[in-house]
Amino acid sequence: MAFAGGRSAKDLIERFRHARQDRGRVVLEGFHAVKHALRFHAEIEHACASDRTALEALTGRLAPDVQSALTRLVRFVPRLVFAELAPVPPDTSVIAIARRPSVDLSAVFDGPGAAPIVLLEAPAHLGNLGAAVRVAAAAGAAAVVTTGPRDPWHPAALRGAAGLHFALPVAAIEGVPALRHRPLLAIHPDGECLRPDMLPDGAVLAFGSERRGLSDGVLAAADRQIALPMRPGVSSLNLASAVAAVLYAWRLAGRGWHLPQPPD
Ligand SMILES: C[S@@+](CC[C@H](N)C(=O)[O-])C[C@H]1O[C@@H](n2cnc3c(N)ncnc32)[C@H](O)[C@@H]1O
């Protein structure tokens, strides 16, 4: 069966399968991921949907600003073909392949600016990782970097972030780099109780993994350990909730951290 552009169903299925293994590409599953990717200028190579009426209704209601871009990009494919494009096809019946942007890590760490960098040490759950990227984008953080084996651009992380990876630099790093200009703050349940004046400009905020928390190495290297107060009996917050609480403590303190301008 051939589609617009002469592409056969088999070819399309193979392209999506291949994109999942390709470090230069990412798969965007679902309407919100595709919408944000478009808003933040992702380079989308292929986009497919199976239900024209549903997609037009969703776009009209939630994202009229990307309607013309989506209309240009999307190829409509039969439901049975769409079902083969993802292990769990998204309910919103739209999926895309985009190029993964390259991140200049020295520009991230040595760059100016008051916004903090979020460092996730070996996050285990891709949904948490994505939720952390989402709140970092919303709050105006400078970047999200991760250590450990999880790919921060995995389709499940992109789904958790609703595609907001394209709004700020997101990258995997080998380990915590030597920081020349930025203070390193370990966000840790046993630290000092957070007050907004404890969050200096340009800090790297390090959050630990879901089970083990922060490593001894990061705790030892940190300039300060900071805790979010909790009532007795509660062991810890969920990772992404902790990221949200600290980033918004910073925002609400109004310390000269300006949100990036909206995309054109
Ligand atoms: C689910 S918690 C890890 C819990 C782990 N058992 C521990 O003791 O650190 C994941 C990460 O969220 C952050 N976090 C969660 N609750 C926190 C709190 N009350 N204060 C500071 N950080 C917290 C920390 O960075 C932590 O490493």
Which pTM does this prediction carry? 0.92
pLDDT digits (tens, 9 = 90+) for 152-196: 999 999 999 999 999 999 999 998 888 888 999 999 999 999 998
Question: What's the CA-to-centroid distance between 114 and ligand 1, angstroms?
Answer: 24
pLDDT digits (tens, 9 = 90+) for 97-142: 999 999 999 999 998 888 999 999 999 999 999 999 999 999 999 9
Q: Which of 170, 163, 166 is nearest to 33 (CA)?
A: 163
**Atom of ligand 1 at shortest range from CA of 121:** 27
- Higher pLDDT, residue 112 or 216: 216
Task: State how far the Cα of 32 lies from the Cα of 47, in Å rounded to an integer.
Answer: 13
Question: What's the CA-to-centroid distance between 188 and ligand 1, angstroms?
Answer: 5
Question: What's the CA-to-centroid distance between 157 and ligand 1, angstroms?
Answer: 20
Nearest Cα residue to atom 25 of ligand 1:
207
Q: What is the mean pLDDT of residues 244-254?
A: 90
Mean of the per-residue pLDDT values for the chain? 92
